[in-house]
Structure 1
Amino acid sequence: MSTVFNFTFVPWFRSVAPYIHKFRNQTFVVGIPGEAIAAGKLPNLAQDLALIQSMGVRLVLVHGFRPQVNEQLAIKGQSPKYHNGIRITDSVALDCAQEAAGQLRYEIEAAFSQGLPNTPMAGATVRVISGNFITARPVGIIDGIDHQHSGLVRKVDVPGIMRTLDMGALVLLSPFGFSPTGEAFNLTMEEVATSVAIALKADKLLFMTEVPGIRMRPQEPASEDNPVDTELPLAQAVQILADAPPGLEPTDTAFYLQHCVKACKGGVERSHIIPFAVDGALLLEVYVHDGIGTMVVDEKLEELREATADDVGGILQLIEPFEKDGTLVKRNRTEIERDIGHYTIVEHDGVIFACAALYPYPEAGTGEMAAVTVSPQVQGQGDGEKLLKRIEQRARIMGLQSIFVLTTRTMHWFLKRGFVQVDPDWLPEARKKKYNWDRKSMVLVKKL
């Protein structure tokens, strides 16, 4: 084994370890559309899901079958019929859906049963259990259109799914539900996955999609480094949804985003939109710090946002005690008003509880994270982490390669989060001129 490989593999594996610990015994609901299976992505997805399950994650997999049903309809000389994005399921379409579901369940179970030596599935034992876990009701007549055998989720058998997960099995759900009278209804993968995630109080809902993710500001051109917003606060996701036309196709902005928003509002704190075209996208999203797709996050009453002129008073009030005891360098109101565009804040119920500023030095490819403050009332609740993540995100958008801080008292907090100490001479020339040699601040740098 080459030394180069050792040097890349070991730090990478160590960096993944915190996520392995964090997600053990958590419940993930994963929605895989029929398009991903039609594109030949099932074998690798099964390998990645088996790997995630082997690290202690409890998995519910919901498959879609839109293209497969349309293929069956074409064989029978029929065309698919939709109204407002919902399939109108007549008796022929219901037969096609049942045939497609049977075939796909067979293919999925086969994919999880592979165990050839020298493959990622060698030694893996993944028990796949399906069942009648979904009770459904008819969509009914909308705008005078009878949707016939198309349905909506009425109830999820939570105890049944939980018992199956407790056995160590992977739960596989087709987009079908049954009424108490035994009638079958054709559902959508997206609605089933969302309803199940909410009912189970899942830790994550992950959709494998044809789109790479969501942009917070779709009017801005996507950069090669940052084609999507990797983290989207729920409030902003709601706004994007309000501005977007109805999402009737899987490639429309609103199509998956509406389900992510519904899940977050229903208590699923994190919902993900991940491109199935990228091999290993599921692993990259779950186990790499910034992920690859878009994660919609419910920040509840707390809002993480860029500061405005109205926040100057709140920021001054927050940082004043820390300036008095010498933790922070004193800043006057005029300075903060001038630099307010550099600030990010965490606000709880209208009160600012944390802030940080990013001063870019583009000529040196770096930026200073300054005025980092978390109110004593909320310290230890993760607001510092959220600020750091947002500042890193802002720095990346600006094309910076690193961020640095100057500190006299909180160096350990930064060292634990990937910063390393450097000599003050490392500082960009413009910042070095303002360095207070009497204060003897430590300079800590983090590569992005």
Structure 2
Amino acid sequence: MVLSVNDSVKLFRNSAPYINSHRGKTFVLMFGGEAVEEAHFANIISDIALLNSLGVRLVLVHGARPQIDQREALRNRPLRFHNEIRITDKETIESVKDAAGSVRSQVEALLTMGLANSPMHGAQIRVCSGNLVVAMPIGVKGGVDYELTGLVRRIDVNGLNDHLNDGSIVLLGPMGYSSTGEVFNLSHEDVATQTAIQLKADKLIIFTEAEGLLNEEGALVRNLDRRRLQAMLDNPHYRPQANVLNAIANSLDAGVGRCHCVSYRQDGALLQELFTRDGAGTLISQVYYEQLRQANIEDVGGILQLINPLEEKGVLVKRSRELLESEIHKFTVIERDGMVIACAALYPYVDEGMGELACVVTHKDYQGSNRGERMMNEIIAQAKSLGLQKIFVLTTVTGHWFREQGFLPSTVDELPEGKKRLYNYQRNSKVLIMNI
């Protein structure tokens, strides 16, 4: 798809808030050896280099499982696993070193590439790695000795920060080192999780084969909170994804702000996920990042931006900033990633057991996803809590939508006395009422 100049400008402008918010933040990016073998892996590295140029502090953690398997096969050695964990003996650790070193060299080469016709021309990126992961053996479990398969004991956070503060990208592999001079085979999920936790990273970004986390029907789950993530962990259907799901859960529980799952098969998925409002994969946070909540004074500007176009068209009665500020406690909003994308207000007439549902607006880019119904149901719940028996609306152009929601046509005479006196006969708004 070729973007027009106007589309390109709009895209760049819309990405500006994200460029500003990501600058100076620390992201840990995790990808397995499968991603390295993808045809457009070089494009992923170019996108990572772009993040670096925009001031994002980056730690890359790579795996090497398929590469280890290939080397074991070349040596005619059987693959040894127990409970889906590789048993690493002295011969296998040589395959691990070989495979991890090969992947590291490939990533470093791509990050160094600076041909004039490449996206990274002139980038001059420094890549640092080393003995930054201290490991310990898994030991013997259930009578099985895992030998040189290990776990992360600690991350050299000071060393990592020294490299990151210098503007370098830090590259970590699936190996760790002990104080006794041993090399251990680690899962890259463990390395990435512990790095994100101990570094207090702002994000853990995981590259997966699928476009993100999928539900049982195979559809992409775009947003997930910790509670729904636990439901996936408890569901046997998601057992093949257990390593990824546990990495996310452990990171969130330890204070990592957000986790993302994006596809290494979808070209540009990383940038789309980080620099567009709807993203490309799955965003997982402690709480759902699209929140329905009571409005506060800081939402006034966002609500005005939402309702001004409809006021200009005469669909809504114009509200001044001063009026909106004085009535902000009556409003409920849906906030998506810091932006007010829907609002509605409840004006109660308690003595007459009625309430007005007013200013129901959804941003044009987010219509068609039941947010209007969600907002209306919240207002109805608020009205019931106040002991109201009826909700009414005055509308000039959206009467059909309210009728679909259960409102019935009525007359001005059925309105509360206070509203009757304010009724604008010149606007000739239709009156609809719902018993709640």
1:238 Cα deviation from its structure 2 partner: 1.3
Q: What residue number does 1:444 align with?
A: none
1:371 Cα deviation from its structure 2 partner: 4.2
Paired residues of 2:135 and 2:177 also in contact (CA < 8 A)? yes
Indicate the SS of the match to 2:4: helix
Residues 1:138 and 1:5: Cα distance change in structure 2 (over 3 Å)? same
Q: Within the alignment, does 1:116 sit opposite 2:115 as a pair? A: yes
* Aligned residue runs from structure 1 range 205-284, under 5 A: 205-215=204-214, 218-219=215-216, 221=217, 227-244=219-236, 247=239, 252-284=240-272
**1:429 counterpart letter in structure 2:** H
Q: Within the alignment, does 1:127 sit opposite 2:119 as a pair? A: no
Task: Describe the superposition over 1:28-52 as per-residue Cα deviations: whole angstroms up to 9, x where unpaired.
Answer: 0000110011223431111000001
Paired residues of 1:31 and 1:62 also in contact (CA < 8 A)? yes
1:288 Cα deviation from its structure 2 partner: 1.2
Paired residues of 1:42 and 1:108 also in contact (CA < 8 A)? no
**1:253 counterpart letter in structure 2:** Q
Indicate the SS of the match to 1:40: coil
Q: What residue number does 1:292 align with?
A: 280
Q: Within the alignment, does 1:427 sit opposite 2:426 as a pair? A: no
RMSD between superposed Cα atoms in Å = 3.7
Paired residues of 2:262 and 2:280 also in contact (CA < 8 A)? yes
Q: Distance in 2 between matches of 1:181 and 1:231?
A: 44
Q: What residue number does 1:203 align with?
A: 202
Q: Within the alignment, does 1:21 sit opposite 2:24 as a pair? A: no
Paired residues of 1:42 and 1:111 also in contact (CA < 8 A)? no
Paired residues of 2:224 and 2:282 also in contact (CA < 8 A)? yes
1:145 Cα deviation from its structure 2 partner: 1.1
Q: Within the alignment, does 1:42 sit opposite 2:33 as a pair? A: no
* Aligned residue runs from structure 1 range 289-438, under 5 A: 289-299=277-287, 370-371=344-345, 397=369, 427=398, 429-431=400-402, 438=423
Residues 1:368 and 1:91: Cα distance change in structure 2 (over 3 Å)? closer
Task: Describe the superposition over 1:222-260 as per-residue Cα deviations: whole angstroms up to 9, x where unpaired.
Answer: 5xxxx312111111111221223673xxxx232311110
Indicate the SS of the match to 1:201: coil
Paired residues of 2:61 and 2:171 also in contact (CA < 8 A)? yes
Q: What residue number does 2:54 align with?
A: 55
Q: What residue number does 1:166 align with?
A: 165
1:132 Cα deviation from its structure 2 partner: 0.3
**2:263 counterpart letter in structure 1:** P
Indicate the SS of the match to 1:25: coil
**1:370 counterpart letter in structure 2:** A
Q: Within the alignment, does 1:138 sit opposite 2:137 as a pair? A: yes
Indicate the SS of the match to 2:234: helix
Answer with 14-23 or 279-288: which moved more. 279-288
Q: Distance in 2 between matches of 1:46 and 1:199?
A: 24
Q: Within the alignment, does 1:7 sit opposite 2:22 as a pair? A: no
Indicate the SS of the match to 2:196: helix
Q: What residue number does 1:446 align with?
A: none
Task: Describe the superposition over 1:397-418 as per-residue Cα deviations: whole angstroms up to 9, x where unpaired.
Answer: 55x999999xxxxxxxxxxxxx
Task: Describe the superposition over 1:163-210 as per-residue Cα deviations: whole angstroms up to 9, x where unpaired.
Answer: 110011000001111111110000011110000000000000011011
Q: Which runs of 5+ in 1 are unaligned?
A: 307-314, 320-326, 328-352, 358-366, 374-387, 406-423, 441-448
Q: Which runs of 5+ in 2 are unaligned?
A: 296-302, 304-329, 335-340, 348-361, 377-394, 404-408, 413-421, 428-436
Paired residues of 2:223 and 2:289 also in contact (CA < 8 A)? no
Q: Distance in 1 between matches of 2:45 and 2:213?
A: 25
**2:286 counterpart letter in structure 1:** D
| TM-score normalised by the chain length of structure 1 | 0.68
Identity of aligned residues (%): 35
Indicate the SS of the match to 1:124: coil
**1:95 counterpart letter in structure 2:** E
Paired residues of 1:261 and 1:296 also in contact (CA < 8 A)? no
Residues 1:429 and 1:210: Cα distance change in structure 2 (over 3 Å)? same
Residues 1:133 and 1:35: Cα distance change in structure 2 (over 3 Å)? same
